[in-house]
Amino acid sequence: MPQIQIGPDAAAVGAAVAGRIVDDLTTALRGGRRFVLGCPGGRTPVSTYHALAALAAARELDLSGLVIAMMDDYVVPDGTSWRNVDGDAHYSCRRFARVEIQGVLNRVLPTDRWVRDEHVWFPDPKDPAAYEERIADAGGIDCFLLASGAGDGHVAFNPPGSPVDSLTRIVRLGEQTRRDNLATFPGFGGLDDVPTHGVTIGIGTIVRHSASAPMILLGADKRHAYTRLTTGEGYDPEWPATVYRLVPPAMLYADRAAAGESPDREQR
């Protein structure tokens, strides 16, 4: 059964998740070992990144040994292959990593303790399989933060029906996934503006390589996701975010809005 923690709001949830990460992060970095943090883009993990930055500043951590391994990005056709979308586009995961993760962490630290540019990793749409090798060569992901699509349970860009052994690859985005991303990236003018394909880690990538994989759910629009993720057992390919149950200890963090709980109940 998953361990479920419910906080009053996004800030509290972010602080709880960051607090769970930071002890292992501190031990690794101070021992001279690289720490690999798997990261999604979008709204859900933002409070966690800010809380992690606050803890890094308070503990005077040197984050030059921290690796940010992003889980996906939008792609567009490039001849017979694929390429990433413009890195400055408002919906680019590369822009998100630079501004919302690396930028947030670095601005609280002196420059010699910054997350290095070469330590921000992305899957390559021209050679997706290379990401599996890169992660394996690094010793795996110490902590992979996960978030669930509100409407179809996608995790990263893995659509419903993704097999449990799927690896990093190019996928066609489901229509519900694209609709979910209209809320995530309000700069889109409509569904036609949302790319139809992405490069993504697979379900098997998460299971094979993650030492921990906490799931985060925030907001009333995630209530259905909360129900799907807290009922049943094992991996359900029709709701890919259930992969978090395969990485022990299975942990789920939600705010009260997502859990639909009364204000006087914070956790169980």
Which domains can be identified in the chain, with CATH numbers? Answer: 3-259 (3.40.50.1360)
Query: How many other β-carbons are positioned within 10 Å of the β-carbon of residue 144?
Result: 29
Q: Average pLDDT, whole number, for the chain? A: 95
β-sheet bridge partners, residue 84: 75
By C-alpha distance, which of 208, 199, 200 is closest to 140?
A: 208
**Mean pLDDT of all residues in 231-240:** 97
**Mean pLDDT of all residues in 56-67:** 96
- Classify residue 100 as left (phi > 0), alpha (psi -120 to 50) or beta: alpha
pLDDT for 30-61, tens place per residue? 999 999 999 999 999 999 999 999 999 999 99
Q: What whole-number distance in Å separates Cα of residue 31 and Cα of residue 191?
A: 47
Q: What whole-number distance in Å separates Cα of residue 268 and Cα of residue 4?
A: 6
DSSP characters for 45-106?
A: THHHHHHHHHHHHHTT--GGGEEEEE-EEEEEEETTEEEEPPTTSTT-HHHHIIIIIIHHHH
pLDDT for 96-144, tens place per residue? 999 999 999 999 999 999 999 999 999 999 999 999 999 999 999 999 9
Q: What whole-number distance in Å separates Cα of residue 183 and Cα of residue 81?
A: 29
Listed in sequence order, the residues at least 6 apart from 237 whose beta carbon sits closer than 8 Å to its beta carbon are 160, 161, 162, 163, 164
Q: What's residue 129's pLDDT? A: 97
CA geometry: angle 204, 206, 211, nearest 5 deg:
130
By C-alpha distance, which of 61, 112, 96 is closest to 104?
A: 96
Structure tokens at 60: 């005077």
By C-alpha distance, which of 48, 42, 106, 108 is closest to 72?
A: 42
Percentage of the chain modeled with pLDDT above 90: 91
Which residue's entry shows tokens 């586009």? 89
- On whether the CB atoms of residues 63 and 28 are closer than 8 A, the answer is no
